[in-house]
Amino acid sequence: MKFNIIITTVCFLSALSRISYSQGIRDSVYHIREVAIRANRIFKKEEAGMKETRVDSLVLMSKINGSISDILAENTTVIIKDYGRGALATASFRGTSPTHTQVSWNGININSPMLGMVDFSLVPVYIVDDMSLQHGAASVSNQSGGLGGHISLDNTVDWSNTVSGRYYQGLGSYKSDDEFGQFNIGNKTMQSKTRMYHSYSKNDYKLINKHQIEIDDKGEIYNPEQRNKNGQYTKYGIQQEIYYKIAPNLFSSARVWYQDVERNIPEVLSNEAVDSIASRKNEQSDNTLKGVLQLTHYHQKLHTKLTSGFDYQQLDYVVKIKNSGSQLNTPVNSGSKMQSWYNNLNMRYAFNPKITSQLKLDVNYFDITSKDSTNQTGYTEQRIEYSLFGASYFNLTKNMNLSLELRKGFIADVESPLIYNMGVSYKPIATNDLVFKASFARNFHPPTLNDLYWQPGGNPNLLPEKGYTGEMGLHYLKRIKKFDFETQLTGYYSDIDNWILWLPSVKGYWEAQNRKKVHAYGLEYNLKASYTGDKIKYTMQGTYGLTKSINVGQLLGPNDASIGSQLPFIPVHSSNVLFAVKYKSAYANYQHHYYSVRYILSANEDVPENDFPFYRLYAQHLNHLTLGYQLKLGKTTNLGAELKVNNLFNEVYRSAINRIMPGRNYTLMLMLNF
């Protein structure tokens, strides 16, 4: 309640003193700026051969009360494995594993140094202004380890702002409550942004449990209907940003993000406990604090940026079991503290308009402590990583750009090879925005600290995962009067060796081993088209991914049937499409999201059809509808209402085994912008 009062009061007082421009003016400014940037971005020498896609601001706003996992699943070719609403959500980029997708927030990596991946359900859209994806080889320019790709989450500054803000309040199905407040104040020299958010859901949606069988009064067998048990979650967060213009060509910024998440892990459907909500509870607490300091200097030829940041992550996981008539037992009581410190010096020098070189130096430090007090296991480790990056970009002719990037890392006890990316972009017709792109890269991913040191099962002798990636594509952009059209088609092939698996060992426990070799190849297609009239705007955008991720490694035993099979949970086909229309102050968005059949087992080619529900996930068709209206309250403030209908056709689907996702559900959101 205190949180609600604080945000509402701040927003109300700020609205009274509003000195900025209206939403309509901001829309027109952004539209003009976007067209200008896109026309140049399609043929920048610094991105020769690389594929980078930027998530549209329309998408970010339509998912403002969601998580980054929602945006990735429904608007990109990245595959999301979701363990339930509010629970763990991991990403597979181009058919690779979650640890092969690197994620940065304002220039610092936020992958867990223990697990090597990001739980995207813990990253709310509230805190993001700009989101872009660097596919495959393009990730080398950011850091090593992105065998699949890299995702950049950034915050931006508007130096023309004086006073502005917004407050959103959402109420939804399953006793869900979302609220978000943002207050911006500043001038041409200093800007401040403050964001606060809170989300809660009992998350007790209904489902049919097909893993349990009951008999009714007539003797007929049926699957019982039940509630999603032990699924509630609560999230609090605050982010503060300060931007200061020291001189006309010298800028500084400080960003801090704190988040506290308390959530229960929903019970799997196969659990047969009589009163499971009382007999078993899985509870997880995620507490994070991240901060970034940046100093940027612009010169006529030299651009220098110095970044220093920290990332503190604390994860506590407890399993509580109470058998009938017995005391409470705690078989798992684990806690982990991860402290990371990132430092980066980035210098870019333009010799002339046709040649640019870049030099980066990274020095990162990690301090990890993990312990299970029940089982008396755990480890404490420190790691220092150094990385040196050099690149040159050439505009050879008005039709051709070339790029060469080299990176060398230095990690104690880990063999780190020289990695590289070579790219070319070519315009067959100089006056036409049709660009052919091609690149070839070598990359590697070091073992995570859990892979090396987890007790029991960590393997200090693991080799780093290595990969080679080649890709080719076409990128086309066209604007005809009120029509905008952009499309990309990319084909890629990756060969990844020393893939790390956790497997049963002769020692009696699971152990990390370099046992798999994977060939990942496929196609990515992106399309965006829009028409802007005097009072109406139509937008259509979509993606399609063909992803083959095949295990071609060594046999794990005489009966191993996984060789030649698609990796588990990776659909061969995925697609999504968004239709949006805005007429004056009213708007409507419709989104369709599709995954083809996904396998659960590593050996999946010979699974009998009658065992389909237990070894495969059915093809998934999800549909979402949004209806909204904005009412102007004077020249500088507007009040809006938005109704979201998720899973419009009440599809029954799963993203992980034994975890049914919610059916049709609703969210009503009230929005104040000033």
| Chain segment 632-660, per-residue pLDDT in tens | 988 889 999 999 999 999 998 888 777 88
User: Omega into 224 within 30° of 0, i.e. cis?
Assistant: no
Give the model's confidence band at 24: pLDDT under 50 very low, under 70 low, under 90 confident, else very high: very low
CA distance 91 to 110: 14
| Residue 609: pLDDT over 80 | no
The topology under which CATH files domain 2-218+228-311+328-673 is Maltoporin; Chain A (2.40.170)
Task: For residues 377-403, give the mean pLDDT.
Answer: 94
DSSP string, 557-590: STT---TTPBPTT--SEEEEEEEEEEETTEEEEE
Whether the CB-CB separation of 101 and 109 falls below 8 Å is answered with no
| Residue 555: pLDDT over 90 | no
Question: How many angstroms from the chain centroid is the CA of residue 171?
Answer: 24
Whether the CB-CB separation of 395 and 354 falls below 8 Å is answered with yes
Whether the CB-CB separation of 202 and 174 falls below 8 Å is answered with yes
| Residue 421: pLDDT over 70 | yes
CA distance 445 to 108: 17
Please return the burial class of 114, using the count of CB atoms within 10 Å of its CB with bins 0-12, 13-18 and 19+.
buried
Question: How many angstroms from the chain centroid is the CA of residue 661?
Answer: 19
Question: What pLDDT is recorded for position 278?
Answer: 52
* pLDDT, tens digit, 9 for 90 and up, residues 43-84: 899 999 999 999 988 899 888 888 999 999 999 999 999 888
Whether the CB-CB separation of 250 and 164 falls below 8 Å is answered with no
Residue spans of the domains in the chain: they are 2-218+228-311+328-673
Whether the CB-CB separation of 357 and 395 falls below 8 Å is answered with no
Q: What is the DSSP letter of 278?
A: H
Question: What pLDDT is recorded for position 214?
Answer: 84
| Residue 612: pLDDT over 80 | no
Question: What pLDDT is recorded for position 293?
Answer: 98
Cross-strand partners of 556: none
> What is the tally of helices (H) and strands (E) in the chain?
7, 37
Whether the CB-CB separation of 270 and 211 falls below 8 Å is answered with yes
Helix (H), strand (E) at residue 125 = none
Please return the burial class of 193, using the count of CB atoms within 10 Å of its CB with bins 0-12, 13-18 and 19+.
buried
CA distance 572 to 552: 17
* pLDDT, tens digit, 9 for 90 and up, residues 451-467: 999 988 899 999 999 99
Helix (H), strand (E) at residue 161 = none
Question: What pLDDT is recorded for position 14?
Answer: 38
* Residue 75 backbone phi and psi in degrees, to 5: -140, 5
When mean pLDDT is compared across 182-186, 265-269, 419-423, 490-494, the lowest value belongs to 265-269
Q: Could you count the other beta carbons within 10 Å of the beta carbon of residue 121?
A: 26
Whether the CB-CB separation of 574 and 79 falls below 8 Å is answered with yes
- pTM here? 0.90
Amino acid at 392: S
Largest interatomic CA distance in the chain: 85
DSSP string, 480-502: ETTEEEEEEEEEEEEEEEEEEEE
Whether the CB-CB separation of 116 and 100 falls below 8 Å is answered with no
